[in-house]
Amino acid sequence: MNELGKLSDLPQSYRDALADQNLVPLWPSLRSLLPPTIPARQTRPTMWPYAAIRPLLMQAGALTPIEKAERRVLVLANPGQGLERMQASPAIYLGMQLLLPGEWAPSHRHTPNAVRMVVEGEGAWTTVDGEKLPMSRGDLILTPTGLWHEHGHDGSDPVVWLDVLDLPLVHYLEASYHVNGARQAVSVERGESTHARGGVLPTAGFQSSASAYPMLRYAWRDTRAALEQQARTQASDGPVQVTFVNPTTGADAQNILGFHALMLRPGEACTLPARSPASVWHVIEGAVQVTAAGESFEMGEADTCCSPGYVAIGLHNRNADAPSFLFIADESPLHRKLGIYEER
Ligand code: 1HN
């Protein structure tokens, strides 16, 4: 490949004349914009052990009342992106949120899509679009773009969950904003009771509400049972994985980020192909070694790590006598919609 001209090859007077007119020569930057064969990635494989997060989050609970925070969150920031950018990957924001007994995080809505993966504690709930959703460990709760949501806690111990948002992308698009609202009136629970059985769904036209997001809570009990059933019926030639989908359309549960749960049989190891989207790995149950781009993370329950795109992912169930379960968030719906999705 031939060497392209550098900025310093150009006379200063010419560079100044360009800058005066808000013009920039392309050729000095062309190779870094379009590197050969594989993109440059800022995202560094990074693990955030829950044992390190938890005490700092509890300290935040003592230092900052909920009224002073609205959302009491420690952001899992990727050092490769720069901590101040508060992103795990190009499109993924991650945070660990603490709600203490009796606290209430007021209602608002915003353009970024969010999900919560419940890490610890019982008794909290999130009301989304008037639907009050109980939160238990391993449950996935959706708060899609534009829907009102607020959190409360009637239990007796701290509740912690992992927030996953497409905030970095929506912010980059200059489309990120919020609106505050009043406490929501709670209507009857819809999605979970009416859509949780994939094969039998409400008949079109019979139901009064036709929400674009018919299911807002995916109970861990059901997800786990689906994985175990598939592991029993699928030959043991690889891990079993399910994708959280919109039960009406079968498409990804949200527009930008993808969400999955993966089960590794006792002692199982595998290598997943290099895919273009960046990904996040969170242990719901068990113990898993995750290897990405030459980094290996020994992950236990509630630990979280991320990987850049375009690298293979190695998984190894560190438990020889019990299955392990991972929650995965990735940028695959975005890559597919943009037409840039690749597997290598
Ligand atoms: C948000 O609305 C929540 O509702 C949590 O719990 C984290 C991070 C950035 C922007 C909005 C929540 C958030 C957030």
Q: Could you report the per-residue pLDDT of 31-50, keeping only the tens digit for each?
A: 999 999 999 999 999 999 99
**Does 314 have pLDDT greater than 90?**
yes
pLDDT at 79: 98
Mutation choice for ligand 1 from 70, 71, 96, CB with most ligand atoms inside 8 A: 71
Percent of the chain with pLDDT over 70: 97
Please say whether the beta carbons of 331 and 90 come within 8 A.
yes
Q: Contact at 8 Å (CB) between 163 and 75?
A: no
From the CA of 155, how far away is ligand 1's center (Å)?
A: 21
User: What is the distance between the alpha carbons of residues 238 and 174, in angstroms, rounded to a whole number?
Assistant: 41
Residue 138 has pLDDT above 90, yes or no: yes
* pLDDT value at 1 more than 70: no
Q: Which amino acid, one-letter code, is at 149?
A: H
pLDDT at 235: 75
Residue 116 near residue 163, CB atoms below 8 Å: yes
Cα 10 to chain centroid distance, Å, stands at: 45
Q: Is the pLDDT of residue 190 over 70?
A: no
How does DSSP classify residue 245?
B
Report CA(56)–ligand 1 centroid distance (Å). Answer: 19
What are the pocket residues of ligand 1 if the criterion is a CB atom closer than 6 Å to any ligand atom?
A: 71, 73, 95, 97, 105, 110, 114, 149, 151, 163, 165, 167
Q: Tell me which residue has its CA closest to atom 14 in ligand 1.
A: 71
pLDDT of residue 199: 83
Report the nearest-CA residue for atom 1 of ligand 1: 71
Residue 188, pLDDT score: 66
Å from CA of 80 to ligand 1 middle: 22
What residues contact residue 26 under an 8 Å CB cut-off, 6+ apart? none
Would you state the structure tokens that stand for residue 165, as one six-digit string?
Answer: 């948002």
Predicted confidence band at 197 (pLDDT cuts at 50, 70, 90)?
Answer: confident
Q: Which residues does residue 187 pair with via DSSP β-bridges, in sequence order?
A: 131
Closest residue by Cα to atom 3, ligand 1, is 71
Q: Which pLDDT score, from 0 to 100, does residue 209 have? A: 60
- Note whether 138 and 89 are within 8 A (CB): no
Contacts of range 12-21, beta carbons closer than 8 Å, 24 or more positions apart = none
| Average pLDDT of the residues in 276-303 | 98
In terms of Cβ atoms closer than 10 Å to its own Cβ (0-12, 13-18, 19+), residue 268 is: buried
| Token pair 């190891």: residue | 269
Question: Taking all residues of the chain, what is their mean pLDDT, rounded to a whole number?
Answer: 95
Q: Is the pLDDT of residue 241 over 80?
A: yes
How far away, in angstroms, is 21 Cα from ligand 1 center? 40
pLDDT at 285: 98
Residue 147 alpha carbon to ligand 1 centre in Å:
12
Going by alpha carbons, the residue nearest to atom 6 of ligand 1 is 71
pLDDT (mean) for 306-331:
98
Question: Domain 46-195+211-338 belongs to what architecture?
Answer: Sandwich (2.60)
